[in-house]
């Protein structure tokens, strides 16, 4: 019976439509996610929930979308099989097109017990810092992820994320710099932007869900420059692997030693005007 169910499930998701959002979770968390989605997510925004063991069966019918999904799929495979799992990418969601990964996580997944990393090929209402909009261009790497913290920590998170991303890129592109407060530049051209919002806070602001948003010009030259323009050996799965490992490390440092070690790292990458 179990084998039959797996085959039936596999055939159901063997061909994904261009509108389909996919949520790949740990096998043990599938029921919990389905219950959360049924309770908190509108039906028109509900993803298809797939356990990692059957992720390899999922393929988009549109070859163009499948090409953009493949790097995320490779990262997923490494994430779920790694001996050092990414604490902040325990479960991974992908949309060919969405309004904003940041907005979706804030509105529908902030009270979810599990951390989620949400990737999209295109965003129609991408969010930047403050009231700014993030322009979505083909070839960009755009994602948001959730973590737990308090309201005070949310102030430090854009700096921490900036350090993690700068340290990830540095071995491949030496002249990566951070422009205050949370933009990354190469040769004085912006290549990435970061935001962090706190939501679902308790009355004392001691427990919040933090939603981090990151947009990277990976292979798109518009509107400024891209990572691939400076190093063609860098791949999306490799970049994501290193970023989420750095994130594991620096969140641990923040918890154990406070912000001071991260402040020093930040200053090492600081781009003075």
Decide which of 200 and 51 is more confident: 51
Residue range 159-177: mean pLDDT, rounded:
97
Report the b/e string of 170-188 with b at 16+ CB within 10 A.
eebbeebbbbeebbbbbee
Residue 61 DSSP class: S
Which alpha helices (DSSP H) does the chain contain, by range? 2-12, 30-40, 63-81, 101-108, 151-169, 227-230, 236-257, 260-268
CA-CA distances (angstroms) from residue 174 to 27, 158, 185, 192, 240? Answer: 40, 21, 11, 15, 18
Helix axes 236-257, 151-169, angle to 10 degrees: 140
Residue range 126-136: mean pLDDT, rounded:
58
pLDDT above 90 for 227: yes
Give the pLDDT band (50/70/90) at residue 1.
Answer: very low
Decide which of 145 and 80 is more confident: 145
Number of H helices, E strands in the chain: 8, 9
Residue 107 DSSP class: H
**How far is the first Cα of the chain from the last one, in angstroms, to the nearest whole number?**
65
Residue range 113-119: mean pLDDT, rounded:
94
Task: Give me the pLDDT at residue 230, please.
Answer: 95
pLDDT above 60 for 130: no
Decide which of 139 and 6 is more confident: 139
Helix axes 236-257, 63-81, angle to 10 degrees: 40
What is the model's pTM?
Answer: 0.90
Sheet holding 183-186, edge to edge: 48-51, 22-25, 91-98, 116-123, 140-149, 208-217, 189-199, 183-186, 176-179
pLDDT above 60 for 2: no
Task: Give me the pLDDT at residue 13, please.
Answer: 56
Contact 27, 53 (CB under 8 A): yes
Task: Give me the pLDDT at residue 216, please.
Answer: 94
Contact 193, 118 (CB under 8 A): no
Q: If you average pLDDT over every residue of the chain, what do you get?
A: 88
Task: Give me the pLDDT at residue 3, please.
Answer: 47
**Share above pLDDT 90 across residues of the chain, in percent, rounded to a whole number:** 64
Give the pLDDT band (50/70/90) at residue 269.
Answer: very high
Residue range 222-235: mean pLDDT, rounded:
90
Q: What is the rounded distance in angstroms from the CA atom of residue 88 to the CA atom of residue 145?
A: 7
Residue range 175-183: mean pLDDT, rounded:
94
pLDDT above 50 for 8: no
**Share above pLDDT 70 across residues of the chain, in percent, rounded to a whole number:** 89
pLDDT above 80 for 147: yes
pLDDT above 50 for 4: no
Residues 6 or more apart from 43 whose CB is under 8 A from it? none
Task: Give me the pLDDT at residue 27, please.
Answer: 87
């Amino acid at each position: 019976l179990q084998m039959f169910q797996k085959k039936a499930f596999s055939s159901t998701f063997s061909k994904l439509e261009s509108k389909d959002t996919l949520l790949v979770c740990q096998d043990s968390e599938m029921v919990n996610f389905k219950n959360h989605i049924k309770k908190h997510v509108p039906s028109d925004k509900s993803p298809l929930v797939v356990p990692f063991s059957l992720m390899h069966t999922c393929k988009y019918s549109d070859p163009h979308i499948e090409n953009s999904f493949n790097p995320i799929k490779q990262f997923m495979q490494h994430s779920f099989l790694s001996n050092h799992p990414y604490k902040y990418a325990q479960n991974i969601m992908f949309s060919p097109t969405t309004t904003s990964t940041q907005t979706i996580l804030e509105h529908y997944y902030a009270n979810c017990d599990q951390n989620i990393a949400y990737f999209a090929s295109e965003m129609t209402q991408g969010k930047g810092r403050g009231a700014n909009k993030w322009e979505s261009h083909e070839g960009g790497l755009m994602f948001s992820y959730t973590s737990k913290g308090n309201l005070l920590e949310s102030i430090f998170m854009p700096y921490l994320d900036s350090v993690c991303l700068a340290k990830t890129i540095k071995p491949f592109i030496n002249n990566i710099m951070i422009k205050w407060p949370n933009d990354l530049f190469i040769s004085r051209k912006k290549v990435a932007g970061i935001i962090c919002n706190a939501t679902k806070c308790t009355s004392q602001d001691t427990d919040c869900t933090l939603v981090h948003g990151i947009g990277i010009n990976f292979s798109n030259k518009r509107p400024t420059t891209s990572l691939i323009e400076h190093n063609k050996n860098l791949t999306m799965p490799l970049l994501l692997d290193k970023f989420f490992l750095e994130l594991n490390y620096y969140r641990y440092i923040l918890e154990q030693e406070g912000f001071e070690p991260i402040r020093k790292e930040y200053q090492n990458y600081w781009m003075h005007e």
